[in-house]
Amino acid sequence: MILQAHLHSLCLLMLYLATGYGQEGKFSGPLKPMTFSIYEGQEPSQIIFQFKANPPAVTFELTGETDNIFKIEREGLLYYTKALDRETRSTHNLQVAALDANGAIVEGPVPITIEVKDVNDNRPTFLQSKYEGSVRQNSRPGKPFLYVNATDLDDPATPNGQLSYQIVIQLPMINNVMYFQINNRTGAISLTREGSQELNPAKNPSYNLVISVKDMGGQSENSFSDTTSVDIIVTENIWKAPEPVEMVENSTDPHPIKITQVRWNDPGAQYSLVDKERLPRFPFSIDQEGDIYVTQPLDREEKDAYVFYAVAKDEYGKPLSYPLEIHVKVQDINDNPPTCPSPVTVFEVQENERLGNSIGTLTAHDSDEENTANSLLNYRIVEQTPKLPMDGLFLIQTYAGMLQLAKQSLKKQDTPQYNLTIEVSDKDFKTLCFVQINVIDINDQIPIFEKSDYGNLTLAEDTKVGSTILTIQATDADEPFTGSSKILYHVIKGDSEGRLGVDTDPHTNTGYVIIKKPLDFETAAISNIVFKAENPEPLVFGVTYNASSFAKFTLFVTDVNEAPEFSQYVFQAKVSEDVAIGTKVGNVTAKDPEGLDISYSLRGDTRGWLKIDHVTGEIFSVAPLDREAGSPYRVQVVATEVGGSSLSSVSQFHLILTDVNDNPPRLAKDYTDLYFCHPLSAPGSLIFEATDDDQHLFRGPHFTFSIANENLQNDWQVSKINGTHARLSTRHTDFEKKEYVVLIRINDGGRPPLESTVSLTVTFCSCGQDGCFRPAGHQPGIPTVGMAVGILLTTLLVIGIILAVVFIRIKTDKGKDNVERAQASEVKPLRS
């Protein structure tokens, strides 16, 4: 046995040396706490580590969860003798101690942890070989109604134990459409959107699914798998709109009153009502059982029907299905009396009206439901005032309310007015309405003109529209201020263009002939006008209009020289701004009412761009056009008659210029304050904007930017932000404290493309709280220090010269004064 043990140790030592485990530090070392990871299923007799003993230690001892697998040799070789199984034990907690020759512990024990790493050596297994479940038709897509579950003994924290579910077969498969779906991680089975819409237990009451599960997340060809069968029963959807509800209005029963109900397919749904019409008063509620109530009496006359929705939601507030439409109709009761159309209804009847003719219809109103017994009205005359020449002169149709003459025609001389009291009733209520009947004179007299011929009338063709040119008069012998005596005048002949009209004074029946449209000598120099006078009320039978109701006059229109007339007030044309000089850009037309020739000219051509052909009215360009200078370009066109009075008229000509790309890009503003704080701590950037004067539709300008000078490209770069803005950035931080001029090339990408080079001056300067500190430099108009000193010295010199001159002058003046005084003293007489 001792020999066998020595041989085993020798073999291990040779394996240890052959595999390189003798390298100090990697596979060997002193005794200390350590953790090792070993894949399960590996070959046994594998060396884990070589512990080194320090004197007086001569051997090692292994304890803990060895499971008779882990061993240690006297020399400190830790190894295992059997393949490990993570599913049996995933972690082995061991202790290693160093012993002396007497077996006493001189070092340790120290903990040694063996972690068994997983390999995919177990296949997933469904918990059941067959599952059964049920689902309601029209259930919400994506809401699980059944779960399948599988287990895998491999480590769930690794792909070995990560499972993926999949439906591999659906029977029956209709139109190759999947009605069911599964969550590949949780195994939750739910309906697809198509399944929610198409499942129908009347057509296919059951379905069978074959579901597979794979480990390795289903992503490896070497993954293990298992399958199971699922039988699904489709049950009828009970989430259906109830039948329309009918409620009697003004119910006196205690409220709330249950009127209908809805039910979701499963318990636990949360119900609510949605008012589709957003009423100020919504008289319905629903409890959490799905029972719907009316909360207060309803009034059909206020609202005769309600439409709202019932909604079912899950515990998270998400709708379980589509809302159900609820209809409530309010049934009428007879709770409204008839009402009269007005306090007094007035009718008129002619004095010769025949028996049975309609006088008028009294239409009362009932707010109860139409076409029911509650709103069916009966009419009855209960009193006639006065009862002359007899009572019962009128009758009324019981249901229609139409009044008729019953016994004889009326005479206004006997009674000009009758008052009737009429009872209007439904089956429960009665109302009295009042009717006034006025007897009016019959239209048995025709209007008669005071004269039949109003002679001749001469007017200039430019007589103002609205002018009264003639007064006519007719009389009517019927009762004044009635439809029988009112007179209307009409021009019935001689005015086919409708240039004349007649206004009637309602008090005197005088007719005023007015001009409604401009007169025209060229088309109607002489007109024989005929008037007819008639009543708005029809004449009685046997009476007709005759010659007395007609009159005439002759209208002479004199010619007036009129200015030419343009065919339109504004003429408009459109051309490109780069058309060649001499191009026809438009034309105008005018004509003279008298047929004279016309000469055209332009007025207001401030830019001198256009000329017009004096005869044809064609307009040509005579100079380069520029849209940016002004578009549309507006000028006036003058048409002057040739000969005659040389009258003229003016029209407008608008020339719209379409854009061409003829303006190069430029900076949108002067950038005079661009600076960086010196020294730069990191590359910096500045933003600038470009523009041009061309027209940009829809997408706007699209400029491109680049550094114009190759020598600057090592220090600067420019990048586009959008179509108009760019960013100028430094490429490094090594700049001097001074001004730099950066040349940038801007291209507009037009047709043809235009580009320009612009400069940006960027200052590197010391910065304070208020920004860049720039040393004062010479600016135009401000003298330098040397110039200032020179100016000051020159000024002092000039002042010195002036003072010297003044001083000398004063001295000279004093000398003259002294001489004059001396001379005066010589000639002055002595006084005693």
Residues 77-92 pLDDT 10s: 999 999 999 888 999 9
Alpha carbon distance 9, 228 (integer Å)? 53
Instruction: Write down the pLDDT at residue 784.
Output: 52
Side chain identity at 302, as an amino acid letter? E
φ, ψ for residue 393 (rounded to 5)? -70, -20
- C-alpha dihedral (144, 147, 151, 152), degrees to nearest 10: -40
Task: Read off φ and ψ for residue 214, nearest 5 degrees.
Answer: -130, 145
How far apart CA 503 and CA 531 sit, in angstroms, is 12
Both tokens of 832, joined, read 């005693």
Q: What does residue 795 show for φ and ψ, rounded to 5 degrees?
A: -60, -45
DSSP code for 723: S
Q: Are 18 and 24 in contact (CB under 8 A)?
A: no
356 backbone φψ class: left, alpha, beta (φ>0; ψ -120 to 50): left
Q: What domains are defined for the chain?
A: 28-117 (2.60.40.60), 125-235 (2.60.40.60), 245-331 (2.60.40.60), 344-440 (2.60.40.60), 447-558 (2.60.40.60), 565-658 (2.60.40.60), 666-770 (2.60.40.60)
The closest alpha carbon to 257, from 292, 216, 298, belongs to: 292
Give the angle subtended at the CA of 177 by the CAs of 171 and 183, to the nearest 5°: 80
What six digits make up the tokens of 555? 């209208």
- Tell me: cis bond preceding 506? Omega within 30 of 0 counts: no
How is residue 230 written in tokens? 């699922």
Cα 273 from Cα 284, distance rounded (Å): 8
Residue 399, classed as helix, strand or coil, is coil
Can you give the pLDDT at residue 480?
85
Angle, vertex CA 205, rays to CA 202 and CA 206, nearest 5: 160
Whole-number Cα distances in Å, 157 to 277, 335, 808 = 55, 77, 116
**DSSP structure string for 517-558:** S---TTT-SEEEEEEEEE-SSPPPTT----GGGEEEEEEEEE
Q: How far is CA 659 from the centre of its chain?
A: 32
Residue 319's Cα: distance from chain center in Å?
27
Angle at 58 between CA 56 and CA 64, to 5 degrees: 115
Confidence at residue 748, expressed as pLDDT on a 0 to 100 scale: 80
Both tokens of 146, joined, read: 């059944």
Nearest Cα to Cα of residue 664 among 752, 597, 577: 752
DSSP-H helix ranges across 712-784? none
Find out whether 665 and 692 touch, Cβ atoms under 8 Å.
yes
Phi, then psi, of 705 in degrees rounded to 5: -130, 145
The sheet with strand 550-558 has its strands ordered as: 453-460, 550-558, 526-534, 488-493
Low-confidence stretches of the chain (pLDDT < 70) are: 1-26, 644, 696-700, 774-790, 805-832
Can you spell out the DSSP letters for 37-104? EEETT--SSEEEEEEEP-TT--EEEEEES-TTTEEE-TT-EEEESS---TTT-SEEEEEEEEE-TTS-
